[in-house]
Structure 1
Amino acid sequence: MTITVICIAINARIMKFYNREKEIKLLHSIEKKSIQAAQMTFVVGRRRIGKTSLLAKAYQEHTMLYFFVAKKNESLLCQEFVQEIRNKLQVEIFGELKTFKSVFGYLMELSKTMHFTLIIDEFQEFKTINPSIYSDMQNSWDSQKDQSKINLILCGSVYSLMSRIFEHSKEPLFGRATGRIHLKEFTISTLKEILIDYHKEFNNEDLLAFYLITGGVAKYVELLVQENAFSIDHILNVVLSDNSLFLDEGRNVLIDEFGKEYGNYFSILSLIASSKTSRLEIESIMEMQVGGFLDRLENEFGIISKVRPIFAKPSSRSVKYHIKDNFLNFWFRFIYKYRSAVEIGNFDFLKKIINRDYNTFSGPILEKYFIEKMKQEGNYSNIGTYWEKGNQNEIDIVALNELDKSIIYGEVKRNKKNISLGVLEKKTEKLQSKFSDYQAKYIGLSIEDM
């Protein structure tokens, strides 16, 4: 389930949410169910994606408690939570509720006679404050949910911890959630809509730069729109400036995920962002085994993806690794790699580096753009890339439609003049021989086609 949301403020005006009707309808449906039977929904998504804004929008006209789990003493947190309960529910609380066990138990008891939504944001932080809270919640939930009318929304931005809390069989809350929402980035069509609203004269270079830097992450879109930054030069001026949120963003997003071993993870991601995409290349440079790190980056943290040639067997050793998040890919390629220049404030130097490498770096992003665009069109049963042993006969896009027996081969270049469909057709001969009963189509895609 994919949900993203943004609220953009310009000239002190609150602007519209984009493309969120279905998601808000879903959250309203969950709220209605909770009137009859308690609901526990966990919401996960990377930082800056718009989780809190979405939930606030969905439940702004409903009775709602909002608990933010800051990294502080449990007793202090509970004081804040009790004040929120008093303010929002207009109830008298007798005695002191100094533990979250007592706060949650009180709310579960109250929800038997009063319907409300409880949102707990950064829910994974209880892990460091008091891990027994999850067991306490389980006991209270199991014993009281059948009589409860609570709409419980548990929201978190550390993907690995949130997934473990609810999906690991040994965790207390395993199997308790009645719903799961994974918030992701804006789609390409939504990014276009935003650009049309705020920068009507945008060109395709602007669209590529906007997609390359933000990746559709709501907060990044908001920041660039507020600064009216749409061209690559203007975007870089915002990103590479004193006190820019973007400079420490990669570290802020990932440091809690990786813990003490973040140095090795950061080094691996920096190499992948610099086009060292095979395990062999990474191990050769780092002079250590990285299989475990790569596995956790893919399966536990969800930051990289393993890419095989389309139609290759899952056991194929022909594997490349890509960073899934556009901004993190940019951050590790330039800001982390040249962090010494960042630390001394030499942003002009870094801008020169980025401008020097921009055409090369943006090429694969352009390929990703077209693949994502074709996926969202919904016309194909399988889409991917293709290459043969030794990276021979690389094909940027292969899209299969099993219903009408057609296959598309695509060549992607920034400049249309560099596309040769004859060369593309030659590279597809071996693959096309396996699809002799399919109608083949050869296309060239460039910035002009965005």
Structure 2
Amino acid sequence: MVQFINRERELEFLEGRCRSGEAELIVLYGRRRVGKTELIRRFGEGWKMMYFLGRLEAREETLRRFSSTLAESFGDSRLMSNPLRDWDAAFEYLAEKSAQRVVLAIDEFPFMAERFPEIVSVLQDKWDNRLKSSMLMLILSGSSVGMMEKHALDYKSPLYGRRTGQWKLDKMGIGHLGAFFPGYGMEDIVRLFACLDAIPGYLVKFSPDKSIADNIRERMLSKGEFLYEEVEILMREELRDPSNYMTILASVAGGVSSFGEICSRSRLEKSLVSKYLHVLERLGIVEKRLPITATAKAVLKSSGALYSMKDNFFDFWFRFVYPNRQELERGAARQVSEAIMPDFERYVSRKFEDFAAEFVSLGHAGTFGRVGKWWGKSREGNIMEIDVAAVNEKSGNALFGECKWQRGVNALKVAEALAGKVEAAAPRAGKVTLAIFAKSFSKRVAKLEGRRVLCFDLKDMERALSARAKKRC
């Protein structure tokens, strides 16, 4: 049974549009495996909805299936035996049947738009002249972000300006990971986040009855498994020539972060690297970061920006699967698993910083508009970094945090070191709060030199996230 967790806001959006009393053309998009199809199906349980899945097949077969879907819904035996001949007739039929609320969801719409280019312009014409005055709610869904933008969202698309709403479905929040793995402690939840992010379609591939190490070996490092092949499949679907993108992603996952270093490591021209990075940003695989205190001018020019992997699943794959493909293809999953585990914990310690940043963004340490990181130089010219940084632009208040993927952390010592960095990071900030995140503490501290200090161990974070989840139920 497919688990359906969270997505209350998305359901409310769709249900609200369904009750609008007007024609609705909704675009639902987002990367694969985030749960678009399950969201559509769950929404459809409360309404009489027709669901149609686009496939890579001949026009006649698609029209036959489409006609069958309509005929079954409207009880039209004549249509069942005499399928519609073209898309003009198909949308005209829908217009005639939509005097009352009719809901139709076309999933994987890009497959149809690529296979039958005329469908987009035909839909535009029918929407303008017939459907926009009907009671049809049409949901166009797709997993290829680039193709959905091209066919439904881009200003060059015939459908541009026709949509009445759109929703980009993102991964879930960290607070919902525990619902998939109720037997996991918080330490393993963070490791899970480091491997699979919070993407439902990947989370269900892990067994909640097995350890993280066993799941990694059996589901991510074993040839033939879904997660082992997934990255290359996704890249082939989104990109015409994935090879250069693979080179760049391997560099970024390996710790190369500046634009110049990426160009040097990939041995590609700067113009190409810039183009590829832009595409990877748009797909949500890579992100460009600036220090949280960067000026508006620096943000505009992206001066001093660093690149990092935004998608943890891609990050894990390029760090641990891609470099070991030769051994893994021979079936050496156990040997590779044992070899990567020490480095895996170092990798998790870095992902713990992102986990803590999302925790802060949920409001568990105060109200802040922007959350990220800070890096820069001290007065002496030494390079410094702060793991978590957050700013409330209205009040000028800020939070700076350090993350220690360790047990028995002395929070006082960490806070003292952090306080020294804060002077360089935000000398003119308003009220500054320090935050320490760790597996556990040997000593906590509540104040340092008049500043509030927040200490969050894994149990504290688990309680806060659980309370938030219960509050939303």
What is the TM-score when the length of structure 2 is the normalising length? 0.84
Whether 1:32 aligns to 2:15 is: no
Amino acid at match of 2:274: G
Which runs of structure 2 are paired with 1:87-106 in the superposition (5 Å)?
Answer: 87-94=72-79, 95-106=82-93
Equivalent residues, number = 425
Query: Quick check: 1:46–1:253 contact (8 Å CA) kept in 2?
Result: no
State the secondary structure of the residue aligned to 2:138: strand
Partner of 1:240: 221
Distance 2:397 2:415 in 1: 17
Deviations 1:324-352 (Å, cap 9, x if unpaired)? 21111111212223222222222123212
Deviations 1:389-418 (Å, cap 9, x if unpaired)? 588111111222355553222111211538
Distance 1:373 1:53 in 2: 26
Distance 2:395 2:262 in 1: 41
Query: Quick check: 2:84–2:90 contact (8 Å CA) kept in 1?
Result: yes
> 383, 389, 393: which is aligned to 1:392?
383
Whether 1:71 aligns to 2:53 is: no
Partner of 2:417: 423
Distance change in 2, residues 1:234/1:46 (3 Å): same
Whether 1:379 aligns to 2:367 is: yes
* Larger relative contact order (CA 8 Å, sep ≥ 6): 1
Query: Quick check: 2:374–2:388 contact (8 Å CA) kept in 1?
Result: yes
State the secondary structure of the residue aligned to 1:154: strand
Query: Quick check: 1:68–1:121 contact (8 Å CA) kept in 2?
Result: yes
Q: Displacement, 1:354?
A: 2.3
Partner of 2:324: 338
Which runs of structure 2 are paired with 1:1-400 in the superposition (5 Å)?
Answer: 9=1, 17-33=4-20, 36-94=21-79, 95-111=82-98, 113-195=99-181, 198-199=182-183, 202-225=184-207, 228-259=209-240, 261-289=241-269, 290-299=273-282, 301-312=283-294, 313-314=298-299, 315-377=301-363, 379-388=367-376, 392-400=383-391
Q: Displacement, 1:241?
A: 2.9
Distance 2:311 2:129 in 1: 41
Partner of 2:404: 413
Deviates more, 1:362-371 or 1:412-421: 412-421
Deviates more, 1:22-31 or 1:214-223: 22-31
Q: Displacement, 1:277?
A: 1.5
Whether 1:441 aligns to 2:433 is: yes
Alpha-carbon RMSD: 2.1
Q: Displacement, 1:20?
A: 3.2
Distance 2:78 2:25 in 1: 24
Distance change in 2, residues 1:447/1:141 (3 Å): same
Distance change in 2, residues 1:399/1:28 (3 Å): same
Amino acid at match of 1:132: E
Distance 2:223 2:275 in 1: 37
Query: Quick check: 2:401–2:437 contact (8 Å CA) kept in 1?
Result: yes
Distance 1:96 1:189 in 2: 48
State the secondary structure of the residue aligned to 2:387: strand
Partner of 1:3: none
Partner of 2:426: 432
Deviates more, 1:41-50 or 1:322-331: 322-331
Q: Displacement, 1:91?
A: 1.6
Distance 2:259 2:316 in 1: 20
Query: Quick check: 1:206–1:232 contact (8 Å CA) kept in 2?
Result: no
Query: Quick check: 2:63–2:83 contact (8 Å CA) kept in 1?
Result: no
What is the TM-score when the length of structure 1 is the normalising length? 0.88
Question: What residue ranges of structure 1 are gaps of 5+ in the alignment?
Answer: 1-8
Identity of aligned residues (%): 28
Distance 1:108 1:365 in 2: 51
Distance 1:230 1:391 in 2: 41
Amino acid at match of 1:295: H
Q: Displacement, 1:230?
A: 4.6
Distance 1:178 1:381 in 2: 29
Q: Displacement, 1:244?
A: 1.3
Deviations 1:254-313 (Å, cap 9, x if unpaired)? 211111x210011111111111122111111121121111122223x3321110111212
Distance 1:194 1:185 in 2: 14
Amino acid at match of 1:27: L
Query: Quick check: 1:399–1:409 contact (8 Å CA) kept in 2?
Result: yes
